[in-house]
Amino acid sequence: MKKKVILGYGLLFLFALSVFIGQVNAQDEEVVEVFSVNLLSPNTSAARNQWSLLMENQLPKIGIGVDFHESTGWGNIGPRTWYYPLHDFDYIPTYAEGGYDILFVGWSWGLDWDPTGLFDSASLVPYGDNFYQYINPVYDDLLTSYLTELDQAAQIVYGQQMQAILYEDLPDIVLVYPKSLFGMKEGLIGIDGLLLGAGSARYEFWDDPADHIIKYAIPANLAEWNVFIYASFYDGLWMGGVYGALYQRAQDTNVWEPQIAAALPVFSPDLKSMTVDINAGATFSNGEAVLAEDIVYSMQLFMTPAVGSGDYSYYNTWFATNASVWAVDTDTVAFNMTDVNAFALGTISFSIIDKSTVEPLISSFGYDIFNEVPLTGNVGDGLVMSCGPMIMESFDSVSSTVKLVPNVEYANLDGYVAPLLDEWYLTYISGKDTAVSELISGNIDIVDGQYFPQIADFTPAGVEGILVSDPSHQEMAMNLRHPVFGTGELTPEGTVEAAKNVRKAISHAVPRDIIVAQILEGLGAPGVTACPNVAVAFDESLDPYAFDIDLALEYMELAGFDVYGKGAGIEGLIFLSLLGLASLLAFRRFRK
């Protein structure tokens, strides 16, 4: 064969090889770093530590490098976020400048989702918790409508419109909605898991048909003695059975319904004032009738600084003075609020105590009675004698055990029946293994979810694991003053829309299903927006951002980034293409 022909075929092979390699490179191009960030996360949760490390590895897959990941305590996080001092900058800058880029954080909510102070522009740091520095006038207007709409159906529409905006703008990238796993003796009835997880359980419906006794194990000491000073979720569990309120969450539907009130409030034309009639059968456990003055006095105690209530600031937001609540007559109480409040039923559903019992105690012994162990000292049963379904029979501060028994007077309420249980215990047990062992042996009926048990712990006969959704979410909070994914000024496109596309890329890089299945071991659900999936207003039409690296890379390219770079791979492709072109020209010359 002639050399010219051999050379010609060889050059053709090189051209074909260049095209093939180019195609392979196009299918398997290496992603290059186009910008980098710093991550900030609290070191208080083992699960959060895992998914923050997971995202540290995920971000480079879409061209976002991680310079530094600081896992630290809240004392170091606060000054970079919601407590940023605004000295060197009049906004929260990037992590490198003393602020933050991306923060892994979680938020707890009630069943009524109220995001006031988090995303609205009026709550920008230092005036609120809007450390995201998110500003959207449309969202602000919807929030105003949402917070002032008293018709629940209309309010839900506003809430879902707000969620649609947050879903699109992504000031936070919601990762998961956690769930708690409770261990329970098989056969227990009447336990609404959602109300239990929200701290609003209706104990009058609970029962163990076998013996009418339920013993509940908790992982923390009981150290707060009455409803005015408590902050612990676990102290709140027994208080929810003892203290009655005007309204309570309904079993199963979770909407507000009258308890000590006779009916829903009657609002004034401006919707800021309301009157409430008291249920004719409402009595305290000592048999005395619940009067309007008891409700007035109870709220005024919450608003008295010397009492030390953790809810003091909340009530002083909605009620200007103690005179904002008054008795119209013995059976009717009136409230005058500072503004229209879509969650008014929850606001006025504080715990009620007997004025005729507590006022003399304060007069004689001062506010120190709020620091005394129940059923002891000067206070006796004065601060735990209320109008709920249960009464406290004993409180052991050494073993941290509370025993509640039915309040026989509760059956006097119109439309209500006496509790089914004979005895209800809340007791501290140290350590998950001990608590689970006590459940299996029959000494305990419920193991709280905050022991963080696993499904395998509840496989023995006679016990079961119950999943309960928490009204909370875990997220990646985004600093919207970051010049790339916040303002977009340092993206190739240089636009706010480009910054949003980067945030969408990050959201599509989150393997939510993997976080739920592997890190949370099934104890959660993929996150969508900051509204928890158990809240009344949750928009079920929104799906979590799908885990899709290819789609994430497309969003990075929409922001103008060349995520495949101009490095060696691309240069090699250009070289081979030029080589192929040269081979064609050379072959033409030889053929001549």
Helices (H), 203-245: 233-242
As a whole number, mean pLDDT of residues 195-212 equals: 92
Q: Which amino acid is at 278?
A: I
Instruction: Write down the CATH number for the domain with range 187-428.
Output: 3.40.190.10
- Is pLDDT above 50 for 180? yes
Which residue's structure tokens are 């990646």? Answer: 476
* Annotation: CATH topology of 35-178+471-558: Dipeptide-binding Protein; domain 3 (3.10.105)
Look up the pTM and report it: 0.75
- Is pLDDT above 90 for 303? yes
- Is pLDDT above 80 for 21? no
Q: Which of 175, 169, 33, 37 is nearest to 100 (CA)?
A: 37
pLDDT one-digit tens code per residue, 414-428:
777 789 999 999 999
Instruction: Work out the burial of residue 17: count CB atoms within 10 Å of its CB; fewer than 13 is exposed, 13-18 middle, 19 or more buried.
Output: middle
For residue 412, what pLDDT is reported?
Answer: 81
As a whole number, mean pLDDT of residues 124-140 equals: 96
Instruction: Work out the burial of residue 89: count CB atoms within 10 Å of its CB; fewer than 13 is exposed, 13-18 middle, 19 or more buried.
Output: middle
Q: Which of 104, 129, 132, 110 is nearest to 44 (CA)?
A: 104
For residue 431, what pLDDT is reported?
Answer: 94
Count of other CB atoms within 10 angstroms of residue 536 = 17
pLDDT one-digit tens code per residue, 218-233:
999 998 888 998 878 8
Dihedral sign, Cα of residue 374, residue 379, residue 380, residue 382: negative
- Is pLDDT above 80 for 9? no
pLDDT one-digit tens code per residue, 489-532:
999 999 999 999 999 999 999 999 999 999 998 999 999 999 99
- Is pLDDT above 80 for 567? no
Helices (H), 454-567: 496-508, 512-514, 549-558
Q: What does the DSSP 8-state code read for residue 283?
A: B
CA–CA separation, 264 vs 146, rounded Å? 20
pLDDT one-digit tens code per residue, 262-281:
999 999 999 999 999 999 99
- Is pLDDT above 70 for 250? yes
- Is pLDDT above 90 for 533? yes
pLDDT confidence bin for 240, thresholds 50/70/90 = very high
Angle at the Cα of 131 (from 125 to 135), degrees rounded to 5?
85
pLDDT confidence bin for 43, thresholds 50/70/90 = very high
CA–CA separation, 438 vs 185, rounded Å? 11
Cβ pair 535, 113 in contact under 8 A: yes
326 DSSP β-pair partners: 334
- What residues contact residue 278 under an 8 Å CB cut-off, 6+ apart? 260, 261, 262, 290, 291, 292, 295, 331, 332, 333
Cβ pair 213, 355 in contact under 8 A: no
Bond before 126 cis per omega within 30 degrees:
yes
The CA-atom distances, in angstroms, between 369 and each of 296, 384, 482, 547 are 20, 12, 51, 55
- What residues contact residue 530 under an 8 Å CB cut-off, 6+ apart? 107, 115, 118, 119, 163, 166, 172, 174, 473, 475
For residue 566, what pLDDT is reported?
Answer: 56
